[in-house]
Amino acid sequence: MRRVTAIAALSCALFGGTAAAQPYSGVTPVPRTTDAAALHALASDREIGERIRLGIAALARAAWPAARDEFARALALHPPEPQGSTASYDLGIALTNAGDLDGAARAFEAAIALDRGFLAARANLVSVHLLRGDLAAARAAADAYVALAPDSARAAYARGIAALRAGDATTALADFRRLLARDPKYAVAHYDLALAEQRLGDYAAAERELRAALALVPAYARANIALGAVLLHEGNRADARAAFDAALRDTDDATLRTLATSLRDAIGR
Amino acid sequence: MSRLAVRVAFIIGVALLGFGGTGFARASVAALEDLAGGAFVASGAPALLGPIDAAGRNGWRCVPERTAQTTQPGEAELPAAGAPAAGRP
């Protein structure tokens, strides 16, 4: 009896070990055709998949030109969906990182043209337009993104930033409020909401939002600088100075330090 | 010089100083307001969502697509407090 149990245990261990150690992927079915066109199509499909795989590997090691070339080659093979929109999307990422922002915008637009519901491509298109400084294009892309995904947090944030930078504080206000309704602990939304309030002339609301942001992230230097500027506008110089001092204490960013120092010194003049 | 002329000159001098002082104060306030305007800079653009493999955006298993769609700011890969300002990657 003991011998039977031992053999059974050994068999289980052996079979289990074999399964766990299996390093090979499943066997690819052999194409059962001799038709030249069909064989060419199969080879092309295989190459598209491989090019996308190699491109993603290149992105992972920050080899942007190599990644760009792999995705461009995949696209030259006229891939079907979803590979076509996917290769365009990945090409957009490679081009953004390579510094070709115009090319990246075109690549994300091509991905969207192939697949209208491609939300990740729409999200990246807004970011690229913001990086390009094309606020009208960013706003149009963000509006389309929000229309397709009205509950998306990223869509609300992206459009809020595009609107704020383009001077549409009313839309920015609504988007950041929507974001905060979902997560009141997102300090950045409080900060940008404060900016929208300030642009609409409601300095009291701006101060309240900035204090909310700072309650969540006390070392939020940019919020302290904005708070100081709001307090300065309200005539509260002592508290404004304290806010600028806090910003100086909390950041190593040279631009922010210069701004905080200039504002603090200007109060004393 | 007559006493009247001295008085007139004194009054004009005081007036000029007053106007100059007010102008200087106004210029200082305007300069401060201009400087403070630089304090209101919008947060940065969201970082790009990551690559997608040849399987395409296959529903909820595709992380970038899920991130683009989620309703929760904490899952949407949005900038954190203290991230670079708008216009800077």
User: Using CA atoms, how far apart are residues A92 and A107, in angstroms rounded to an integer?
Assistant: 5
Its domain, for residue A251, covers 183-269
Domain count, chain A: 1
The average confidence (pLDDT) of chain A is 90
Residue A187 belongs to a domain: yes
Residue A254 belongs to a domain: yes
Q: State how far the alpha carbon of B13 is from the alpha carbons of A190, B1, B2, B17, B76, in Å.
A: 52, 16, 17, 6, 66
User: Using CA atoms, how far apart are residues B47 and A93, in angstroms rounded to an integer?
Assistant: 11
Which ranges of chain A does DSSP label H, i.e. alpha helix?
2-21, 36-60, 64-76, 83-98, 101-114, 119-132, 135-148, 153-166, 169-182, 187-199, 203-216, 221-233, 237-250, 254-268
Residue A71 belongs to a domain: no
Q: How far is B29 from chain A (nearest CA, A)?
A: 9
Chain A to chain B, count of Cβ pairs less than 8 Å apart? 173
Q: Hey, is the C-beta of A85 within 8 angstroms of any chain B C-beta?
A: yes
CA A217 from centre of chain: 22
Q: Are A260 and A247 in contact (CB under 8 A)?
A: yes
**Radius of gyration of chain A from Cα atoms?**
27
Residue B38 is predicted with a pLDDT of: 82
For the segment B28-60, what is each residue's pLDDT rounded down to a tens digit? 556 666 667 788 999 999 999 999 998 888 866
Q: What is the CATH number of the domain that holds A204?
A: 1.25.40.10
Q: Hey, is the C-beta of A195 within 8 angstroms of any chain B C-beta?
A: yes
Please list, in sequence order, all residues whose beta carbon lies within 8 angstroms of the beta carbon of residue A133, skipping any fewer than 6 positions away: B87
Q: Is the pLDDT of residue B17 over 80?
A: no
Alpha-carbon torsion B55, A148, B45, A250, what sign? negative
Q: What is the mean pLDDT of residues B57-81?
A: 91
The partner residue sitting opposite A56, judged by closest CB among B39, B51, B57, is B51
Residue A98 is predicted with a pLDDT of: 97
**Beta-bridge partners for B43:** B85
Least confident of A114-123, A188-197, B19-28, B78-87: B19-28
Residue A34 is predicted with a pLDDT of: 78
Residue A248 belongs to a domain: yes
Q: Is the pLDDT of residue B86 over 50?
A: no
Q: Is the pLDDT of residue A18 over 70?
A: no
Q: Which residues of A193-229 are buried (b: 16+ CB within 10 A; e: fewer)?
A: bbbbbbbeebbebbbebbebbbebbeebbbbbbbbbb
Residue B78 is predicted with a pLDDT of: 96
| Higher local confidence (pLDDT), A5 or A127 | A127
In chain B, which residues have their Cβ closer than 8 Å to the Cβ of A158?
Answer: 45-46
Q: Is the pLDDT of residue A12 over 70?
A: no
Which ranges of chain B does DSSP label H, i.e. alpha helix?
3-37, 63-69
The partner residue sitting opposite A56, judged by closest CB among B44, B53, B83, is B53
- Tokens representing residue B3 in the block: 């006493």
Query: Is A131–B87 a contact, with Cβ atoms under 8 angstroms apart?
Result: yes
**Max Cα–Cα distance, chain A, nearest Å:** 97
Residue A212 belongs to a domain: yes
**Beta-bridge partners for B85:** B43
| Higher local confidence (pLDDT), A16 or A90 | A90
- Please report, for chain B, the start and end positions of each structural domain, with discontinuous segments joined by +: 1-35
For the segment A162-217, what is each residue's pLDDT rounded down to a tens digit? 999 999 999 999 999 999 999 999 999 999 999 999 999 999 999 999 999 999 99
Q: Hey, is the C-beta of A52 within 8 angstroms of any chain B C-beta?
A: yes
In chain A, which residues have their Cβ closer than 8 Å to the Cβ of B45?
Answer: 126-127, 130-131, 158, 161
For the segment A230-266, what is each residue's pLDDT rounded down to a tens digit? 999 999 999 999 999 999 999 989 989 999 999 998 8
Q: Are B51 and A64 in contact (CB under 8 A)?
A: no
Q: Are A160 and A172 in contact (CB under 8 A)?
A: yes
Query: Is B78–A115 a contact, with Cβ atoms under 8 angstroms apart?
Result: no
Number of DSSP helices (H) and strands (E) in chain B, helices first: 2, 0
Provide the pLDDT confidence category of residue A137 given band limits of 50, 70 and 90. Answer: very high
The helix/strand/coil state of B49 is coil
| Higher local confidence (pLDDT), B5 or A210 | A210
Least confident of A9-23, A147-161, A197-211, A219-233: A9-23
Q: Which residues of A94-129 are buried (b: 16+ CB within 10 A; e: fewer)?
A: bbbbeebbebbbbbbbbbbebbeebbbbbbbbbbbb
The partner residue sitting opposite A130, judged by closest CB among B74, B78, B86, is B86
CA A19 from centre of chain: 39
Give the count of beta carbons closer than 10 Å to the beta carbon of residue B8.
Answer: 11
| CA neighbor of A91 nearest in space, from B48, B76, B63 | B48
Residue A16 is predicted with a pLDDT of: 47
Closest A-chain CA to B75: A153
The burial class, CB within 10 Å (0-12 / 13-18 / 19+), for B12 is exposed
